Structure 1
Amino acid sequence: MKYLSFTRLTGTLLLTCSPIALSATANNTGSINTDNSSIEVFTVTGTHIPDTSDTASLPKFTISAEEIAALAPNSFADVLAGVPGIDIFEQGGVGGLTFLSVRGGDPNFVVILIDGVKVNDPTNSRGGAFDLGTIDPTVIDKVDVFYGSLSTVYGSDALAGVISIETKKFSEQRNGTASIKVGSNGMYGGSVHFGVALAEIAQLSVIGSVQDGDDSTFGDAFERQEVIASLASMADSDSQWNLGFFYADGEAATFPEDSGGDRLAVIRDPEIRDFSQTNVNAKVQHSLSESIKLDFNSAWSKREEDISNPGIAPGVLDGVPAIDSISNYERLDLSATASYGISESAVIALGAAYAKEDGDMKSIIDFGFPMPADYTLERETESVFVEARLDPLESLHFTLGIRHDNTKQNDVTTARLISRYQLSSTSTISAQYSEGFKLPSFFAVAHPFVGNPELKPEQSENYDLSIDSNFFTGNLTTRFSIYKNTFTDLVDFDPIAFTNVNRSKVTAEGVEAYLAYQANEQLSLSGQFTYNKVDIDEVGVVLRRRPELKASVTANYQATEQLSFTGRLVANDDYYDSSVPTGMIELPGYNHLDLSAAWTPTDSLMFRLHAKNILDNDKEQAVGFNNTGRSLTLSLSKEF
């Protein structure tokens, strides 16, 4: 249930705990990563082949821990705001559901990985979109954004892109870090991270973090606790392994999506969401020889959500009854890959994967009388894949991947071709053709009122062409990209048949421009501009939260050895959004300016003051949800 006008969502609203919305964007302090030399073991690279060269993978956009710290974000949405090709809208404060889109795709067209573990949940009414409030930005070491349809690597859901989050690990440079923060709107939190080498055999890393409150001005409630642990072998042997654990739980209270928010909602009770996310993963990598490598990966994850929606009073559109629901989803992933270096210019990888999913939802809908709407579903997917990298010339490189995924209901084959050509010592051109698929969500297939077990997988095709250049001995880095994404067989709600069907087709095409300039030792600048045009093949249907134009500029200034400043301005033009009180309307564009200052009186101690929305722009990102307003956050971190 995605690319719909709000009118066509009305029937679905009666049955969902959280109606679906769609997106918009800006830009970030991140960097374009085209240097893949010295790839660390277990690092997600968007390919099955261990990437030890600087030529094989399509460039991606990377945000480092240092860049995240400079932004001093209170939410993961703050981290992604401003990344080229990403539209992101916050509904209320940190605890509100965030709309995320990559190059025009729906939020559930993006695979989210935490330390390589897929965390998309197909039992929720959002079709599998991940709740970005689950992850604390302070625990993140790096974020990689991969563009295009990557189902040849990640299977289902990777229609528009992949966002890979890597948490902080053991570091030889420090034993640990402790930090605390307080905000002007009653928000406070902190984190502790320590790492230690165990008898020169393994590296242990443990992180704990808490946050209470968000940065909004209208009383949203939010709290979250996280514990993350990693035990990894030393990277100096033919065999390497890693054990990982991630746990987060929390509670959020906000106005329901499409309710009209704090400005328009008639029912003033908040929607209460309790959530928990548990991931356990084990990875082994073994080199039989210089040319043969084996990878074994296993992961288990569990998502639990308890939602109490007070309902939405009728407005221009029909209202939504009160709904209470409890959902549980478990996923087991196993995979094995063998790669063989045929020669210095050719590598091939063969592998197989198995996924088992178990999900259920128990819900009560209040139609004036309680109506149960429960479902349970299991799904197993068996996959085989092959990938080859060829370097026919020193300056020309190809990567070709094919994957076949099989369930009892569906067989899907996808392919991807990447090519890179070194135009000169300063410029590289990259091209990609990729295919993706998304198995129907458990909610769309099994819900007792609107579920349709005959739904086909949603499909995608992506074309991408990028030129990366370096000028002035590397002080100026640029990227220019053009792309076209086509999404077909999209799951849509048919109000006449009162069920979900496959029928829509959406095309998203656009251009992205990015540059990063190191003006001198003190000043660095970066900026991006995105034009994204999205069309649907049905007359009268308008897509929500997709501004055609967005841009951002980030500046970092090192005033003295101890004092630095970071500023980021993001902006976008007008876009459509809807709510029950108003129906579909056009919202004006907005801009958002954040500033932060960091003072390091010693090498291990840092104070940071962060001012969010310093211009106090009062434009709404979602209909009726007033801007969160200006806020200040003071943090203190200590390395030891």
Structure 2
Amino acid sequence: MAAFLLSSVSAAAQQDSTKGTSLNEVVITATRFPKKVSETGKVISVITKEDIERSNGKDLSQILNDEAGLIINGAYSNPGKDKSFYLRGAKTDYTVILLNGVPVSDPSGTGGAFDVRMFTPEQIERIEILKGAQSTLYGSDAIAGVINIITKKGADKPAQGYAGFSAGSYNTIRANAGISGSAEGASYNIGFTHYQTKGISEAEDTTAAKSFDKDGFNQNAFNADFNVRVAKGLYIKPYFRYTYFKGGYDGGSFTDADATYKAQMFTTGSQAEYNFGKGALTAFYDYDEVNRMFTDSWGTSPYAGNKKTLEFFGNYSFSRHMQLLAGIHYNKQKLNDETANPKNPTAELTSPYLSFFLKDLRGFNLELGGRYNKHSKYGDNFTYSINPSFTINDKVKLFANYATAFKAPSLSALYGPYSANPDLTPETSSTIEGGVQATLLSEVLDVRAVYFKRKIENVIIYGPSFQLINLDKQNDNGFEIEPTLYIGKKLRIKMFYAYVDGEVTTKSNDKDSTFSNLIRRPKHSFGANIGYQVTPQFFISTQVNSYAKRSDLYYDMSTYSQQAVTLSAYTMWNAYAEYAVAKSRVKFFADVKNITNAKYTEVYGYSTLGFNFTGGIRVKI
């Protein structure tokens, strides 16, 4: 049977020129400048423009949730519920979110993680997911990896209007419109998105009366991106983004509440890029401001903060085989909190970094890098990375990585009104990776297999007096395998299997104790996506994701203690179809999720979405 499948795939490849091109794909996030996947040993995945355009009906969390080793907890809960993302089993604030290469975060939160609900998929061109410790290139928080969200650029004509509208289950409506274009060395993209849904009850309703109210969600997002060539090789790229959303939330597991939240993000800045014969220079300034407010029966709780980032870096090619990247990063964060000690605290981080690259020495590649970090509170620390790889006949790449990383304590953890500790030190980590990536069977099969092992020390936890302290150690390991088949011009079969295991070691009464740290994270996950271009106008796909059982913890109000529970394994089956008319300027689409109406739980005591449907239209003028 296997031999028959392989021979059929090879025959299909000979009849068609479509090739799998993973090793030849050019990425930016792995090295901060364009580089082929075959020339770097980093583990990077790409969600392409085509993938995103064929994800109509999904939000960003659901798009990311289809990737190997990336679990977005809450992706299929009530649409307005907060989302937690676990890259290779690591908690949310161990992953850096980039917007066009610029780090974004929320200084007002305990962990500083950015809220992915702030981003709307209508304005995303491409996503690059870089796994493993990446603090050498991207600084604090990059313990598990980096997710780079790359926004849409201007169309290749002076003006092109675009719009979209969809409606579906739970009284959901999504509408967007914009205009983009380019002419005489300048380009622009300006867009607006509105999203609203009545949703479902955030908490699971187990009462006989089924009286819990629905917790809706309403969002507006605006973006404006510009790119102006001011001289030969010199480009200035100013941008502006604003997102506002509001919704309802409940009081906890199985507990209804008349509670509301609202949040807004404002980000603006500019990049300057100068390209010359053997390299490029890049500088950017970015300002992010996040304001959140929660209102419940206890009153109103505001959270606000901002961050200013300034960075300059350059890359230079000494020869066809030698390259250098050097840069310096500075950011200043502020927590707007009059109750903090001191009031409205700030923290600064300055980080020069350097990476040296050997490229294609008879197939051998090497990256060596280091970063020095000077923090205004805790002092300094150093991270480094070693990344060799070897490519055989441009078809098979063997790679290994050893890298250290760190996470600086957030302003809220250092100075906030609850449980803060100004003596916290950085959480530090080391990660080992090794694997193989190959393009086989006449470039019809792309496959990557990776093993990783990660150790994190000085993990920040709540101590016996409920004050945050550095205490725990965390060890995680796992592997991922991702085969993709391209059969002819019409059929792609993309699959993954991911395994992760982990444990935390803590000290109590001067004795070490060890327990699993995979809360809400499955040890085993599997996914398969089949996409078929039936005709030039008609495309269909189906996606199946399966997750093993998971552990969870919840607070039991009757015993005033935390209780452990096991969440059952489940499988999610989704499908998508689109039909294009008017030379693909108009596309109709339908998206169906949870076709079998599977019953499952992402967070104990909270609801999840049943069978749901979205239909809509996209137009380019």
Same fold (TM over 0.5): yes
Contact 1:93 1:214 in 2 (8 A): no
1:28 maps to none
Shift of 1:309: 4.2
The structure 1 residue matched to 2:239, chosen from 232, 236, 244, is 244
Shift of 1:466: 2.3
Task: Give the number of aligned pairs.
Answer: 575
Shift of the 431–185 alpha-carbon distance from structure 1 to 2, 3 Å rule, reads: same
CA separation in 2, counterparts of 1:523 and 1:351? Answer: 43
1:110 aligns with 2:95: yes
What is the identity, as a one-letter code, of the residue corresponding to 1:416?
S
Question: What SS does the corresponding residue of 1:418 show, helix, strand or coil?
Answer: strand
Map residues 385-396 of structure 1 onto 2, 5 A cutoff.
Answer: 385-391=353-359, 393-396=361-364
Deviation per CA, 1:245-280, whole angstroms, max 9, x where unpaired? 111111121225xx11xxx21xx2144221111111
Deviation per CA, 1:294-338, whole angstroms, max 9, x where unpaired? 22121111111111244xxxxxxxxxxx36321211111111123
1:187 aligns with 2:166: no
What is the identity, as a one-letter code, of the residue corresponding to 1:245?
F
CA separation in 2, counterparts of 1:570 and 1:32? Answer: 24
2:161 maps to 176
Contact 1:486 1:505 in 2 (8 A): yes
CA separation in 2, counterparts of 1:297 and 1:53? Answer: 25
Question: What SS does the corresponding residue of 1:508 show, helix, strand or coil?
Answer: strand
Taking only the aligned residue pairs, the percentage that are identical comes to 20
1:283 aligns with 2:259: no
1:624 aligns with 2:593: no
Shift of the 216–593 alpha-carbon distance from structure 1 to 2, 3 Å rule, reads: farther
Aligned residues: CA RMSD: 2.3
The structure 2 residue matched to 1:357, chosen from 308, 316, 333, is 333
The structure 2 residue matched to 1:302, chosen from 263, 266, 289, is 289
1:551 aligns with 2:526: yes
Q: Which has the higher contact order (CA 8 A, sep 6+)?
A: 1
The structure 2 residue matched to 1:465, chosen from 427, 434, 453, is 434
1:415 maps to 384
Greater mean deviation of Cα atoms: 220-229 or 597-606: 597-606
What residue ranges of structure 1 are gaps of 5+ in the alignment? 1-30, 311-321, 364-371
1:600 maps to 580
Question: What SS does the corresponding residue of 1:122 show, helix, strand or coil?
Answer: coil
Contact 2:30 2:40 in 1 (8 A): no
2:453 maps to 484
2:401 maps to 432
The structure 1 residue matched to 2:568, chosen from 588, 593, 597, is 588
Contact 1:82 1:551 in 2 (8 A): no
Deviation per CA, 1:50-107, whole angstroms, max 9, x where unpaired? 5478514624111112212223243211111121111221173221011211112110
Question: What SS does the corresponding residue of 2:93 show, helix, strand or coil?
Answer: helix
Question: What SS does the corresponding residue of 1:474 show, helix, strand or coil?
Answer: coil
1:454 maps to 423
Shift of the 66–303 alpha-carbon distance from structure 1 to 2, 3 Å rule, reads: same
CA separation in 2, counterparts of 1:45 and 1:300? Answer: 21
CA separation in 2, counterparts of 1:325 and 1:145? Answer: 34
Map residues 155-304 of structure 1 onto 2, 5 A cutoff.
Answer: 155-172=139-156, 175-198=160-183, 200-213=184-197, 216=200, 219-234=214-229, 237-256=232-251, 259-260=252-253, 264-265=254-255, 268-287=256-275, 289-304=276-291
CA separation in 2, counterparts of 1:209 and 1:385? Answer: 38
CA separation in 2, counterparts of 1:197 and 1:488? Answer: 49
Shift of the 302–427 alpha-carbon distance from structure 1 to 2, 3 Å rule, reads: same
CA separation in 2, counterparts of 1:429 and 1:229? Answer: 41
2:480 maps to 512
Contact 2:107 2:307 in 1 (8 A): no
What is the identity, as a one-letter code, of the residue corresponding to 2:189?
S
Shift of the 542–360 alpha-carbon distance from structure 1 to 2, 3 Å rule, reads: farther
CA separation in 2, counterparts of 1:214 and 1:348? Answer: 52
TM-score by length of 1: 0.85
CA separation in 2, counterparts of 1:271 and 1:119? Answer: 28
Contact 1:51 1:57 in 2 (8 A): no
CA separation in 1, counterparts of 2:179 and 2:126? Answer: 17
Deviation per CA, 1:451-493, whole angstroms, max 9, x where unpaired? 1100010111111112111122211111111011111101010
TM-score by length of 2: 0.88
Shift of 1:373: 9.8
What is the identity, as a one-letter code, of the residue corresponding to 1:193?
G
What residue ranges of structure 2 are gaps of 5+ in the alignment? 1-19, 203-213, 507-512, 557-561
